[in-house]
Amino acid sequence: MNAVRPYVLPDGSTVQVDPTQPLPEVVVAAIKTAVAPSVSGLMTAGSDPVDQGTAVMNLFNDVSTQAEKTGKDVILVFQTNSSDGLVWGTIASGKKNGLTGINGNASKDAIVAEVQAWATNRNYEVVVAD
Domain assignments of the chain as residue spans, ordered by start: 5-129
Q: What is the pLDDT of residue 85?
A: 84
Q: Which of 53, 127, 124, 52 is nearest to 95 (CA)?
A: 124
Q: What is the pLDDT of residue 1?
A: 65
Helix or strand holding residue 5 (H, E): strand 5-8
Q: What is the pLDDT of residue 18?
A: 95
Q: Are 75 and 92 in contact (CB under 8 A)?
A: yes
Q: Which of 87, 118, 92 is nearest to 104 (CA)?
A: 87
Helix or strand holding residue 126 (H, E): strand 125-129
Put simply, whether the predicted model's pTM sits higher than 0.75 gets the answer yes
Q: What is the pLDDT of residue 22?
A: 95
What region, left, alpha or beta, does residue 14 occupy, with left being phi > 0 and alpha being psi -120 to 50 degrees?
Answer: beta
What region, left, alpha or beta, does residue 126 occupy, with left being phi > 0 and alpha being psi -120 to 50 degrees?
Answer: beta
pLDDT tens, the chain, 130 aa long: 688 999 999 999 999 999 999 999 999 999 999 999 999 998 888 777 788 889 999 999 999 999 999 999 999 999 988 877 899 999 999 888 788 999 999 999 999 999 999 998 898 999 999 8
Parallel/antiparallel/unpaired status of strands 85-92 and 5-8 = unpaired
Amino acid at 6: P
Amino acid at 35: V
